[in-house]
Structure 1
Amino acid sequence: MVCRPWLIIPVKSLSLVKSSMQGHLSPDERRRLMIAMLSDVLAAAKRSKTIEKICVLSPDPEVLALAEDAGVTPVREPGLDLNPAIEFAIVLAKRSGADSVLIIPADIPLISGEDIDGVVSMADEDRVMVISPSKDNGTNALLLRPPDLIPPRFGGESFPAHLREAARAGAHIRIYRSENIAHDIDRPADLLRVKVFAPASKTSEFLSALEGQGVLEDKVNPQG
């Protein structure tokens, strides 16, 4: 059977996003950065040919309104920690008939529709987990078929944690490796990669606006 997962994109409250950028970006700049990255991820998701439904999971009204404006499904969660929030969304998806879910973060603006379809194409049998690691041994894409195959273990070192959970569940394991998916945005220097490889993205547009104000010039262009 062809896999048609529900895509779940968790986004925390915008007042809390990208704390790793504190000291480099103001709270409002971090908020605008997250909105730009989410817009790029949603654009990639909408170009995918394999996703059944796109859901943005957040407690933040602004994020949910953005999702609705983008024509995708906003899912309000009551301010849970990341993994309980994802479990909340998985339960809703399964109750609504989803045979699989794909979870990706909002801070991977280089992801493409082809990347998403590549992950989904590897879910070619039941009881399968497809996982794509981040550059720091985390998880930047997790497909579960069925949706409750394993509990989510997002956070530090989540890539090996998910592999252990899948092995414990006796699941088939597929690993999808992609530079686009691996590079999330955690530090100012990470933004340079977006400038180079996705100059037309919303994230790059946001970065250009900051550079026009002289913000991050020494962080993003250390030789500039």
Structure 2
Amino acid sequence: MACHLVLAVRPFDQGKSRLAEVLSKKERIALNFKFLYRTFLVGIQVFPPHLITVVSRSDAQLKAARIAGAHALPERGESLNDALLQGAQDAVARGATAILSLSSDLPYLEAADLRAMLEAPADVAIATDEAGLGTNALLLRPALAIPYRYGAGSLAAHRAAAEAAGLRVAVVERPGLARDVDIPADLDLLRIERPEFF
């Protein structure tokens, strides 16, 4: 099975807008860069760089992906789900039989978390967020098994789509996959636990 990793990434100056009340634009850009950089460093411990696709509207991000040996794909869609579908379709055209999509704002992510997703005994493995409502990573076997339904209530939406298609579903609960940074309280905790991000 050839599994590819797909990262759909907002331009650094647009990501983490909910932190704008506590971080300047320059600080958000720096933090978003560090998030993506660390996600990529973890990703290449499990995936060869050429099996990693970065989908973005940012020329700088695409250039960085190419330099790192990843596949860079200029984003054409209007949403995260569009970008992930674009990345998955492109990966399938390059031989992917399975796709792992992953949020890039997971500062606690470790290689073991990605391996846990790949080893999940299911056709569709969903890594939930801390609230148990959202999706922070999604493994699809086969690669285009269900539509991407990221957004509010995405855990239930992905599970329902998989069950409707008659696919085996597993929910993966791991701190490295669940702990994202969306609000100032998340950021405060990250400052204490991972000061190297600042």
Please report the TM-score for the alignment, with normalisation by the length of structure 2: 0.91
Q: Does 1:172 align with 2:168?
A: yes
Q: CA deviation at 1:26?
A: 1.4
In 1: Cα distance, 2:117 partner to 2:130 partner: 17
Q: Secondary structure at the match of 1:68?
A: helix
CA RMSD in angstroms, aligned pairs only: 1.9
Q: CA deviation at 1:72?
A: 2.0
Structure 1 runs not aligned, ≥5 long: 208-224
Q: Secondary structure at the match of 1:181?
A: helix
Number of equivalenced pairs = 197
Aligned equivalent of 2:134, options 126, 134, 138: 138
**Which residue in 1 is equivalent to 2:90?**
92
**More off after superposition, 11-20 vs 162-171:** 11-20
Q: How does 1:18-33 map to 2 (within 5 A)?
A: 18-33=16-31
Amino acid across the alignment from 1:58: S
Q: CA deviation at 1:70?
A: 2.7
Question: Contact 2:75–2:83 (CA<8 Å) still a contact in 1?
Answer: yes
**Which residue in 2 is equivalent to 1:215?**
none
**Which residue in 1 is equivalent to 2:182?**
186
Please report the TM-score for the alignment, with normalisation by the length of structure 1: 0.81
Q: 1:192 to 1:48 in 2, by over 3 A?
A: farther
Q: Secondary structure at the match of 2:44?
A: helix
In 2: Cα distance, 1:67 partner to 1:93 partner: 15
In 2: Cα distance, 1:50 partner to 1:68 partner: 13
Q: Does 1:35 align with 2:26?
A: no
Q: Secondary structure at the match of 1:174?
A: strand
Structure 2 runs not aligned, ≥5 long: none
In 2: Cα distance, 1:168 partner to 1:196 partner: 43
Residues 9-55 of structure 1, C-alpha deviation per residue, up to 9 Å, x if partnerless?
11012232111111111122111111100111111111126887111
Question: Contact 2:53–2:91 (CA<8 Å) still a contact in 1?
Answer: no
Question: Contact 1:7–1:51 (CA<8 Å) still a contact in 2?
Answer: no
Q: 1:49 to 1:103 in 2, by over 3 A?
A: closer
**Which residue in 2 is equivalent to 1:206?**
197
Residues 93-139 of structure 1, C-alpha deviation per residue, up to 9 Å, x if partnerless?
111110000000110121111110111011x56xx101110123110
Q: Secondary structure at the match of 1:189?
A: helix
Q: Secondary structure at the match of 1:155?
A: coil
In 2: Cα distance, 1:196 partner to 1:205 partner: 10
In 2: Cα distance, 1:172 partner to 1:55 partner: 26
Amino acid across the alignment from 1:87: L
Counting aligned pairs with the same residue, the percent is 29
Q: Does 1:160 align with 2:178?
A: no
